[in-house]
Amino acid sequence: MYQLDYIPPYDWKWMFGFLAARAVDGIESVSETRYCRSFAIDGHQGLLTLEPDETACKLNVTLSEGLQPVAHEVLRRIKQLLDLECQPNTILESLGELSAARPGLRLPGCMDTFEQSVRAILGQLVSVAMAAKLTGKLVQNFGEPLAENPGWRVFPTPERLASLVPDQLKQLGMPLKRGAAIIHLAQLRVKGELPLHCPADVEQGVKELITYPGIGRWTANYIALRGWQASDVFLPDDYLIKQRFPDMTPAQIRCYAERWKPWRSYALLHIWYSEGLLIKG
């Protein structure tokens, strides 16, 4: 077993609830205190299990035999998924009253930017539950069974998805253009042209994502938020954000949010998950 440190406060119940709502059958299993998923990297694959020890402020990590040779990189990806290297006091001081009610919120990241980008595309214009269901169909049809535990599968490789035609994905229940968008993304990943890490200029990076077929502004920003774990992303056009700012236009909301730089991603989370919050200009 491995252990990863984190600085409290950390709202594990919220984080695991967030992941549970989006859990994909076949690759993820989540309870209030435990997260388990399959993962494949650099020719190695296996299961990882995460269980927080809140008393010791440590995350207990169990890796199956197949992931042991790449343990260092898997642990780095886990830190990215759960935002374990966050310095919460710095963010709380910057956000002030906005973060007072939920000081333990962290920015959910991902284990793999390509996977998260595909999941973001599948989530366009559908509910969170439907997005997870669609992703599950993708995994069952195009993901390989986990060698050491065939009851699990691994997320489809870029190479596998790049080889498909849109009709094959349409049969899973998505629009033809969405299937084409996923295939195009996979082809970019195979060619090494998909940005996997947060660029120095996030806004320019988002603009580049928007040039990809089937990726709109909201989806591009969501990829930056979770796929790159960019700390300073805000979505003034988001439906719920507009509800939280009832007397402002998106342009006015954008200007208002400047006060939360360089932690606007965290401000976004607090606004999304603070029920009844209304912000007046």
Task: Indicate which residues carry an active-site annotation.
Answer: 238
CA angle 256, 225, 249 (to 5 degrees): 30
Q: Of the candidates 94, 116, 118, which has an alpha carbon nearest to the alpha carbon of residue 265?
A: 94
Cα 239–chain centre separation: 19
Which residues does residue 50 pair with via DSSP β-bridges, in sequence order? 35, 61
Helices 113-122 + 176-190 axis angle, to 10: 170
Which residues does residue 5 pair with via DSSP β-bridges, in sequence order? 58
CA angle 267, 272, 274 (to 5 degrees): 90
- Do β-strands 44-53 and 35-41 pair in parallel, antiparallel, or remain unpaired? antiparallel
Cα 75–chain centre separation: 16
Q: Which amino acid is at 23?
A: A
Q: Of the candidates 113, 107, 108, which has an alpha carbon nearest to the alpha carbon of residue 22?
A: 108
